[in-house]
Chains A and B, each alone.
Chain A
Amino acid sequence: MAKYYDIDDIITEEEIVSVIFQKPASGVGIDPSSETDFIETGSKVELPFWLAHELQLRQAVSVNVPPCFNQKTRLEIQADSASVDLRSRCPFFYEFGCKIAPIVSDRTIGFLLLSAFKSRYKEVLTKAHTAAFAAGSKFWTILTKEEINLYEAAQSAMISFKKWRKGGPRFQIASILGRKRKSTE
């Protein structure tokens, strides 16, 4: 439960997966396509991950592979993973994949994540260390949240190093107050 308060974890678990109900459920209006409050056995519903996970533990649903891990994405990753726009598929591609791998009946998700990460990692680091701030922006839009954290960590390491070499001011305005300080007359 170390990630209970973690904001990224909460947002990751909100991803939609499609499930098939193995048991009926009454009194819930969660299925927008059905007219009544009753969900039949065998009906296909889109649920957020946190709900699907809990229901699957109690064997009330079976979870299908989400669309961000489908065949099309796999082929793109095999072809050239560094340019695949993972953020539009799922901004928490790796975290979500790790969570969904044990409950979906698909053993290959782990390998997919590993190979995608290995090839993209090299790209992320080279771009972060060499490109100037604005130049890397196009590349930035296809990265997932975890990769962005890596990218920013590498960039801030570079900036700190340059600052140390140059010797700049060491005291800074508190970051919460923002960069531009308006003068209050």
Chain B
Amino acid sequence: MYGRKACELVKEFASVGKGQLTQYNSDLFEQVVAECSQHHLELQSLIRKMQEEGLDVQTARNADHYGALIHHLSLVRNKRCLMAYVNNRAEIIRSLVWKIGSVLPKEIEEKLSHTEEEYFSKYSGELKKYMSKMELDLTVDMVPPKDPYIKVRVLDDIGDGIVLSDKTANFARHSIHFLKRTDAEQFISRGLMEELTG
């Protein structure tokens, strides 16, 4: 009550490093929403009590007024914590689309709620629409380019016959390829390849 559970939710979000996601805590979220309803009920009963005593609700400053005020402030605080939780998670999801592309890796998919997964797919769909209208891929070149081609080593089995912009390639594990930077960037940010230097 009185914002403590809501603060727990926020602290849980902050407990992992910056830019990391925790498992979506739907239980705690629901509990905080239920607390909001509870505060609202208490607020209404106090206001009703004041009206029954014949006091003007706007200007009277008795004990009931301050009680109602505390309930109102707790409600607003709960709202703030819930909004911040959802908003910060949404920000991280948006940055995911830019870094990883439109396919969600499994370990992240487990951490998101159903609505957040929908948000991810809708956002990446909108981005694709925008990029296709401009005929420009905005998600490459996140690091300023030095060379058009880079040498990469494949870390995970991606599969055979992957179609790239200028050829098809077979990506067996631990094989080394000389790829165009724009193609490789996507695989590197998903951790499937690593860049070789020197």
Contacts and interface: CB of A to CB of B under 8 A. Distances in A.
Contacts of B133: none
A82 to B, nearest CB: 26
A38 B63 contact: yes
A48 B2 contact: yes
Contacts of A50: 3, 73, 77
Contacts, number: 133
Interface in A1-40: 4-8, 10-11, 14, 23-30, 37-38
Interface string B1-21: 111100100110110000111
A55 B65 CA distance: 12
Contacts of A167: 197-198
Interface stretch (B123-131, B161-169, B183-191): B183-191
Contact of B69 (A55, A169, A181): A55
Nearest to A7: B14
Interface string B169-198: 000000000000000110011110011111
Given A14-B7, A50-B73, A171-B189, A28 B108 contact: no
Contact of A181 (B63, B74, B155): B155
Interface range for A: 35 or more
B64 interface: yes
A172 B190 CA distance: 9
B61 A23 contact: yes
Contacts of B108: 176-177
Contacts of A8: 14
Interface in B53-84: 61-64, 66-71, 73-74, 77, 80-81, 83-84
A171 B155 CA distance: 14
A11 B70 contact: no
Contacts of A173: 188-191, 194
Contact of B189 (A5, A169, A172, A184): A172
A51 B10 CA distance: 17
A6 B73 CA distance: 18
Interface in B78-106: 80-81, 83-84, 87-88, 92, 95-96, 99-100, 105-106
State the 9 A-B residue pairs at the shortest beta-carbon distance, nearest first: A27-B67, A25-B66, A169-B195, A24-B63, A173-B191, A26-B63, A174-B99, A171-B188, A181-B191
16 contacts: A7-B84, A10-B81, A10-B84, A27-B42, A30-B2, A48-B4, A51-B3, A51-B73, A55-B73, A58-B69, A171-B184, A173-B190, A176-B20, A176-B92, A177-B105, A177-B107
Interface of B: 1-4, 7, 10-11, 13-14, 19-21, 42, 45-46, 61-64, 66-71, 73-74, 77, 80-81, 83-84, 87-88, 92, 95-96, 99-100, 105-108, 143, 146, 150, 155-156, 184-185, 188-191, 194-198
Given A5-B84, A11-B14, A183-B155, 20 more contacts: A4-B83, A10-B10, A14-B7, A26-B46, A26-B66, A28-B70, A28-B71, A30-B1, A48-B7, A51-B3, A169-B195, A169-B196, A169-B197, A170-B195, A171-B143, A173-B189, A174-B96, A176-B21, A181-B155, A181-B191
